[in-house]
Structure 1
Amino acid sequence: MARHIQPLSDTLIRKSKPKEVSYTLYDGDGLQLRILPSGTRTWYFNYVHPLRKKRQNLKLGTYPAVGLADARQLRLEQEQLLAQGIDPIEFQKEQRQQQQELREQTLETVARDWFRVKLPAISEKYGFNLQRMFEQHLFPSLGDTPVHKLTAPMVIAALRPLEALKKLETLSRLCQRLNELMVWCVNVGIIEHNRLAGIKAAFLSPRTLHMRTIDVSELPELLTTMRQDHIHLFIRGLFEWQLHTMVRPGEAATACWSEINWQQKIWQIPAHKMKMARTHAVPLSRQMLTLLQKMQAVSGSSRYIFPSLASIHEHANKEAVNNTLKRNGFRGRLVAHGLRALASTVLNDRGFDHDVIETALAHSDPNQVRSAYNRAHYLERRRDLMQWWSDFLTQQAGVRHCIE
């Protein structure tokens, strides 16, 4: 016959004095209060392991910090775990381990882990700038803070000095990168949700500066100017290459002979040279193939199609076209990057498919699946577009080929 246990009361517990040896008071259903000779009163939950079927004791806390009602509630919670086949001691260990991991997952720690994943997919320069932004503006004040404890007001306060210094572009990029990091933390299970998603709205927005470009009516002037003999052949060629292929200045300046597929008439730009870190195929018009043949006679021994004026073994300065435009009457009117905007304007005005134009310009598409499809699907349509663009430029120049 089971022994009847009289439930404890606060009065009984207070009246129970320490003895020379420890002894135990029983509340029933496995809840026990052990009283030591020192006077310490400790709650335990005595239960049978759900798998091993052995009796175990789980410490619940000390009296009076954990009162009788609290101890009974804790016992109920452990019984609920047992009903699910979960051992309370093992569950407690897992909880402590998770808490320790959360404490160790500071902003700097997880950011360094994120860098290791992200950096291989972006350019070296972009990766350097990304790390530097975090090291200069986030790690000093928030680097030791566990990411699960980061709040929007906390981060906004840390970034206010950038706004005060009017470094709004840096501030905007930092908010974007920090949000990207938080999304990564959600995806890998470090945090449950991104509490920093809206912090960018708390700051002044940087003024959008569009790349300066010219009107299409000024194209003949531009093309005539850039054909002048006093402009070095390498620079003239680089200008034409950038204008006709619609690439960015850095992509044009670093073009290599090894990237040209003569059979398919394509310039295949490797991912590490591209802003979006993905390969970009540029269909080559007849004019650009002619330009390549002419350049081959003077730079064929170099790795680069457009070598540096200082050394044939180095690529052209990425600012070479920009500087030449400034020296030849286009300062304040046109920048090299604005040639892409000019091409976009003309092609859109002439009714070409917007998606084909955007793909030709290697602009990003948030839908990665559609973006990959477009790059492949639109290749033949881009051949037509690129040839039309080169023919239009040749017509504007008034000559058969821009480089004679």
Structure 2
Amino acid sequence: MAKNKLSYESDIKNAPENIAKGEKEIFLRDGDGLELRITQSGRYWQYRYTWEGQRCVFPINGDKSERDEKETTAKNELAEARRWAAWCRAQKNANLDPRKVRAEAEAARKQAILDAEAEQIRTVQAKAAQLTMNDLYAQWDKTHGVTLDAHWRAVRRSHWQCHLAPIIGSTPIEEANKVPLMEVHDQLTSQGKKATARSVLSLLIQLIGWGVERGLVTDDHRLLTFKLPKRQEVVTDGQKSENFKADDYIIKHGIEIIGQDGEDDKAGRALQFSELRDLLSKSLPKSSQALTGKCIIRYMLATGVRASQAVRLRWDWVSLEHRVVIYPTGSMKKRKMHHVHLSDYAFKQISLMLAIRVNDFVFPAPLKDAAHVRRDNVSTDIATRQHYSGDDLAKRMKLRRAIDQYNFYNLTGGKWALYDLRRTAATRLMELTGSNWDIVQKILAHSQKETRGETDKYDRYSRWADRCNALNQWGEALALCEEGSAPLTTSQNIIKLKEG
């Protein structure tokens, strides 16, 4: 059969890239089985041949998409197709099916790629096997740690250096197991450091997951299934079933405690309005705690922000003209910008600090010129001014802050801590304004999932007025508490609390 019938100038150059819908396919034949097939979807070179009595078609590289990918030109398209046709003829002459030969070659190529990837994985794993847990943490801190807020990066460094490195730091990654980790957890828990114990284990779990993503830890590492132990709730003597008396409990805490599930003489609670009245009108004004600490307490109550966000507040984030604080993405736990409206009560706290401004921070450190007040110092100021029955008074009296004011911050509901101010703001906002929880979540900057038909961005801006109104009402309520009274609430049984 004659071949090389086509030419570039007369046939290929002017051939259409495809045909219109409804038209039949077009064949331009070069002879001896090679042809250019033109369809609605494009142009395709193919080689027709007979194998074992059956008519076969061998697809040839050369359609438009492949020509673009290979950067081939229309002029060498014909020559390329002819080379493939010649290759097919050579396979037939050797009694081989061209399709089978190419399939075997493609399979070998893919297997070679898989083998290369497997070898690369083995190389990485072999390298990782020589790394210790200290090496893994160092790489994590160098790459992921730098993306964290400076404070939280320092906290994680402290957790590693103080609690994990001495136990498993020198252990090869592949040999690390949970036995020593649980020993660390139990030791910290026995010392009363439950939060630290869980944070330490959380860091380790995050570290292992990060290592797997980068091939430094094997996919079947034993710590991948490690989970945080369940929280153990300790029941106080007064809450044990054989000791509990409802009337005594109400007398101790006041009638406002009714309906407050879960309140049990411990931190992690929401302060009642009567407690806020006593704290803001009596205890706080008489306390020797620094003005900075007092303003932080009031600011956290008024805005519901986290303690870490309060102490790190910078003047550059505050717009006094628009009465708003804008926390940038880098300062937020969820890496999402947060706007906080300043009610009259919150604005008053900012104004008090403006009058004594000494550096870039709204709440400056007392001794360091360019630093903010430490959160743990404010927490200690609160803790050392509380003493309840059962506490070691002799130990408390060794602390300078507690000598004269060891029970200044005692409240009827029991112990409270700095973070309880955020929980108090959320709970009392719901009680006071009747706001739906969605609005309170936005005030607290909690992460929310998008709802159908309403994007997170639209939702955030559409509720700004509601957030401002809720915070204004809450600020007025705090001002009343500071004056010695308490506000009306929107609960079903509206009760005006007695003035002190």
TM-score (norm 2): 0.52
Matched, 1:337 2:363: no
Distance 1:291 1:388 in 2: 16
Contact 1:169/1:206 (CA < 8 Å) preserved in 2?
no
**In the alignment, what sits opposite 1:380?**
465
1:331-382 superposed Cα distances (whole Å, 9 cap, x missing partner): 4633222211211221233432213222322345588x98777655543322
The higher radius of gyration belongs to 2
In the TM superposition, what are the counterparts of 1:329-368 in structure 2 within 5 Å? 329-331=408-410, 333-350=415-432, 351-364=434-447
**In the alignment, what sits opposite 2:123?**
100
In the TM superposition, what are the counterparts of 1:88-237 in structure 2 within 5 Å? 92=115, 94-105=117-128, 106=131, 108=133, 109-134=135-160, 136-137=163-164, 141=168, 145=172, 155-167=177-189, 169-185=195-211, 187=213, 192=219, 196-200=223-227, 203=229, 205=231, 207=233, 210-211=267-268, 213-225=270-282, 226-228=284-286, 233-237=291-295
Aligned pair partner of 1:323 in 373, 381, 388: 381
1:154-189 superposed Cα distances (whole Å, 9 cap, x missing partner): 622232322442545444334433333444455556
Contact 2:363/2:372 (CA < 8 Å) preserved in 1?
yes
In the TM superposition, what are the counterparts of 1:268-283 in structure 2 within 5 Å? 268-283=326-341
Matched, 1:286 2:344: yes
Secondary structure of the corresponding residue to residue 325 of structure 2: strand
Contact 1:238/1:321 (CA < 8 Å) preserved in 2?
no
**In the alignment, what sits opposite 1:241?**
299
Secondary structure of the corresponding residue to residue 116 of structure 1: helix
Distance 2:287 2:138 in 1: 52
1:258, distance to aligned residue in structure 2 (A): 1.9
**In the alignment, what sits opposite 2:478?**
393
Moved more, 372-381 or 121-130: 372-381
Cα distance change of structure 1 residues 100 and 241 upon mapping to structure 2, 3 Å threshold: same
Moved more, 163-172 or 387-396: 163-172
Cα distance change of structure 1 residues 221 and 158 upon mapping to structure 2, 3 Å threshold: closer
1:284, distance to aligned residue in structure 2 (A): 0.8
1:299, distance to aligned residue in structure 2 (A): 1.6
1:268, distance to aligned residue in structure 2 (A): 1.8
Secondary structure of the corresponding residue to residue 86 of structure 1: helix
**In the alignment, what sits opposite 2:363?**
306
Distance 2:187 2:358 in 1: 49
Matched, 1:252 2:310: yes
Contact 1:308/1:316 (CA < 8 Å) preserved in 2?
yes
Secondary structure of the corresponding residue to residue 336 of structure 1: coil
Secondary structure of the corresponding residue to residue 103 of structure 1: helix
Contact 2:312/2:363 (CA < 8 Å) preserved in 1?
yes
Distance 1:340 1:380 in 2: 21
Distance 1:377 1:192 in 2: 45
TM-score (norm 1): 0.62
Contact 1:251/1:274 (CA < 8 Å) preserved in 2?
yes
Q: Which amino acid in the other structure matches residue 180 of structure 2?
A: A
Distance 1:145 1:341 in 2: 43
Distance 2:329 2:278 in 1: 35
Aligned length: 316
Q: Which amino acid in the other structure matches residue 428 of structure 2?
A: V
Contact 2:121/2:215 (CA < 8 Å) preserved in 1?
no
Secondary structure of the corresponding residue to residue 408 of structure 2: helix
1:248-293 superposed Cα distances (whole Å, 9 cap, x missing partner): 3343233332221123321123445444454432111133334434
Q: Which amino acid in the other structure matches residue 304 of structure 1?
A: F
Distance 2:113 2:382 in 1: 72
Contact 2:289/2:381 (CA < 8 Å) preserved in 1?
no
Aligned Cα root-mean-square deviation (Å): 4.2
